[in-house]
Structure 1
Amino acid sequence: MADNVTSLFRSTAAHSPSMAALTREGGDEAGPVDFCIPCNPYFPTPQMFDDMSARLRDIITYYPSSADTITAELCSLLQLPPQAVAMGNGSTELITWIDHLLVRESLAVPVPTFGRWTDQPMETGKRVDMFPLQESSGFALDLAQYAEFIRARGTRVAVICNPNNPDGGFLHKHAIVQFMDAMADLDLVIIDESFLEFADAEVEPSVVQEAMLRPNVIVLRSLGKNFGLHGIRFGYLVANPSLAGRVRSMLPKWNLNSFAEHVVFMLKEHGTEYAQSLMQVRRDRLDMSSQLSSLPGLTVYPSQGNFLFVRLPVGAEGTVVRDRMLTEHRILVRECGNKIGSSSRFLRLVVRPQVDVRRLVSGLEQVLYGTRRGAAVPELNNGNNYSSGTAAVDRLVGATNGAGLQGLAAQAQSMGGGMPMPAPAPAPVPQMPMPAAAQVFRNGSGAARRR
């Protein structure tokens, strides 16, 4: 069974296998504790699930209302004009139509990021200009450098994810608005706010209102992530009515299912519970970050999403950690080696309640350090800063430390069975130097910030 389950990860590209696939391969065993899929664990409430269960027969028997009807209800709830909104069967459907309709030749996106922003345009023959986020700066996106990167390559579409997935990096509203205005001559600027509901760094961080006033800006929003209902597949975009109308005109009349309709129409009765769920996720994020930060050699990056991006101790291989956590501890984690701009040294861990986090930390202690927590492979302290979060990280460590890595491996294994160290690999290809800051941001007011 263990081999069947772990093989599912090796057969996927930029994403994890579905929970349904894992459950099928797991047989009669209970499902794993899920630190992989970024859901809201506190919403819907048990009462809402009971309501949907009681109405299940009607929900799945009859056609839903048209997408226009469901969109109108959502817009009434969010106080948005329906003509500026298009709802999709998940944000991925909207990304697909944005690519087909509005991306003509090239798209720029910081990496690592959500895989569809790189994969979708490449699948349709577009040039994707990937802007590498630097590990040495905590994966923070410098908007000035990103703007200069776009100008240097002549890119026609720019994407920003705020917060970014998988690292949770956050940009303040005023900085994004300045960027949007500086890129007013591009074909399109896309701000993906799929995880913004979980942010607490700013009271009103969304640029939805500003997007509606500009002819070339789309804001993408998720509902499945916020509401803990990925399986329903619903999301929406907000843009200038002309731009939103182009996308909406291509969507099928019944592209939203009856579950999506039922949830949207019940939301107005559960606004308080939803707000409370977001507050609890934010509290859990702080607690989880604190607990993970106590593990020797594990680096936890600041996040405004409902997940944390962590770098494993030197010598720990993410795929091995992932497989052992699943097969030995029934805990599912997201290893990020298949994300462009990341490597197997990184995990994305979804924020969960404290009882689950304690189980996660206990499992990581056993997998990373054996039975002795003090046997952790130490971080190297030789003044070498890693240049990025890509696989070049491991090659750089191997090239600059040589036999030192093997010595650390022998030491770790003799002290309690920690993770085996990888063999040194060839030195990395030098990275392209980062361009200078764009003129419009040189006064410093547009610099990207992180919590």
Structure 2
Amino acid sequence: MTTPKIRAAVASLPAYVPGARIPDGVHAYKVSSNENPYPPLPSVVDTIATAASAINRYPDMGNTDISDAMSTYLTTDTHTVTPEQLVFGTGSVAVLGHILQAFVDAGDDVVYPWRSFEAYPIITAVSGGRSVHVPLTPDHRLDLDAMAEAITERTRVVLVCTPNNPTGTAVTHSQVLRFMAKVPSDVLVVLDEAYLEFVRKDDALDALAIAEQYPNVVLLRTFSKAYGLAGLRVGYCIAHPDVAAAIRAASTPFGVNLIAQAAVVASLAAVDELNERVEALVTERTRVWTALRGMGWDIPPSQANFVWFPTGARTVDLATDARQQGLLVRPFAGEGMRVTIGEPEANDLLLTLAERWITG
């Protein structure tokens, strides 16, 4: 029996490996998907419940309310963001897909660090583009100089994941400025800031300032991590109005559902409460990282809501042991493990296991 021919680019796609799920009836901590361990704020839940009564209607295709709310939130004494600069989608990964659909033709190059977010090669291939991997430095950081050197006349988009998933390292503002000075103005640079809210470092990246200076820069962000709306799937980008219009044209109509739109507006109204939770996670991250370093682990300094174990050939065995002890982590076979900062109890279990792993 013959079947329709699948596009070669799709047939050869690498599989996206989601974080492990907790089986029914099993007590375990899921720290494999970089989710926020806190439940939604009560005010957000109330808004969701109210919005649910209207799901017989289509959502606002123009995302007017969330665009206005986000524009107000992002506009400060130093930065102005207009609704025309914002594009929303079903998670930042979907928005990235729309970006590549708008700017990458078959055979065009997409440059990005590796290892980095595992959706990058998938989205690039689906768009018809060609992946150009640039290795991380030995200390698990992005090599922006090497990424600039990888740009050719075939390059259309460069992806800069900061903090980098899964290693947690982040570039500085000065590094990005030097990098942008080397990038041709007709190459789109996507600064993927899914973990922006967790960054605490000197010379931290002010991506809005970069975007104001360079119209070929797009900022990619999400409500899944710090805002705890992973189950509703809302991401967005900030871009020059002309670039945003092109991305919007490639976007799925009615992509952000009605309940998700209401939850975003409610979350922005409760951002002070949400920031308290972010600070608590940052405090836990510091506690975990400091303890791991004290044990002798060579853990890179994370600016995200996870830590990276460069465990090499031991990775799968250690991830299996963690699962057996009730901790679901995200292994990258032969490379390392990414472990989300979760509840204090989950973090304590991680430290107990990590001490056994490094001594035994």
Deviation at 1:178, TM superposition (A): 2.9
- Per-residue Cα deviation, 1:252-281 (whole angstroms, up to 9, x for no partner): 441111221121221243121122122212
| Alignment map for 1:22-101 (pairs within 5 Å) | 22-23=21-22, 26-30=23-27, 32-42=28-38, 44-45=40-41, 47-48=42-43, 50-52=45-47, 54-55=49-50, 57-58=52-53, 60-69=55-64, 70-79=66-75, 80-101=81-102
1:118 to 1:53, Cα distance in 2 relative to 1, 3 A? closer
| Alignment map for 1:374-389 (pairs within 5 Å) | 374=359, 376=360
Give the TM-score normalised by the residue count of structure 2: 0.85
Residue type at the aligned position of 1:193: E
Deviation at 1:54, TM superposition (A): 4.5
Query: For the residues of structure 1 that align with 2:240 and 2:30, how far apart are their CA atoms?
Result: 38
**2:109/2:130 contact within 8 Å kept:** yes
| Alignment map for 1:247-258 (pairs within 5 Å) | 247-258=247-258
Residue type at the aligned position of 1:132: P
Residue type at the aligned position of 1:261: Q
The question of 1:217 aligning with 2:220 is answered: no
Residue 150 of structure 1: aligned partner: 151
**2:327/2:346 contact within 8 Å kept:** no
Query: For the residues of structure 2 that align with 1:53 and 1:266, how far apart are their CA atoms?
Result: 9
Query: For the residues of structure 2 that align with 1:57 and 1:329, how far apart are their CA atoms?
Result: 39
Q: Which of 307, 321, 326 is the equivalent residue of 1:324?
A: 321
Residue 300 of structure 1: aligned partner: 299
**2:292/2:354 contact within 8 Å kept:** no
**1:212/1:238 contact within 8 Å kept:** no
Residue type at the aligned position of 1:29: V
Residue type at the aligned position of 2:278: L
| Alignment map for 1:121-132 (pairs within 5 Å) | 121-132=124-135
Residue 392 of structure 1: aligned partner: none
Residue 260 of structure 1: aligned partner: 260
Q: Which runs of 4+ in 1 moved over 4 A?
A: 59-62
Residue type at the aligned position of 1:168: G
Deviation at 1:57, TM superposition (A): 4.2
Deviation at 1:282, TM superposition (A): 1.4
**1:43/1:277 contact within 8 Å kept:** no
1:167 to 1:350, Cα distance in 2 relative to 1, 3 A? same
Deviation at 1:134, TM superposition (A): 2.9
Residue 395 of structure 1: aligned partner: none
The question of 1:357 aligning with 2:347 is answered: yes
1:332 to 1:197, Cα distance in 2 relative to 1, 3 A? same
Give the TM-score normalised by the residue count of structure 1: 0.69
Give unmatched runs, 5+ long, in structure 1. 1-11, 338-343, 377-451
Partner secondary structure for residue 249 of structure 1: helix
Query: For the residues of structure 2 that align with 1:284 and 1:127, how far apart are their CA atoms?
Result: 39
**2:102/2:247 contact within 8 Å kept:** yes
Residue 246 of structure 1: aligned partner: 246
Query: For the residues of structure 2 that align with 1:103 and 1:223, how far apart are their CA atoms?
Result: 26
Deviation at 1:365, TM superposition (A): 4.7
Deviation at 1:353, TM superposition (A): 3.4
- Per-residue Cα deviation, 1:27-79 (whole angstroms, up to 9, x for no partner): 3334x30111112334633x236525743742655433333313223222222
Residue 110 of structure 1: aligned partner: 113
Number of equivalent positions: 340
Query: For the residues of structure 2 that align with 1:77 and 1:13, how far apart are their CA atoms?
Result: 38
Deviation at 1:212, TM superposition (A): 4.1
The question of 1:178 aligning with 2:188 is answered: no
Query: For the residues of structure 2 that align with 1:155 and 1:309, how far apart are their CA atoms?
Result: 30
Deviation at 1:133, TM superposition (A): 0.9
- Percent sequence identity is 25
**2:86/2:239 contact within 8 Å kept:** yes
Query: For the residues of structure 2 that align with 1:191 and 1:42, how far apart are their CA atoms?
Result: 27
Query: For the residues of structure 2 that align with 1:260 and 1:132, how far apart are their CA atoms?
Result: 36
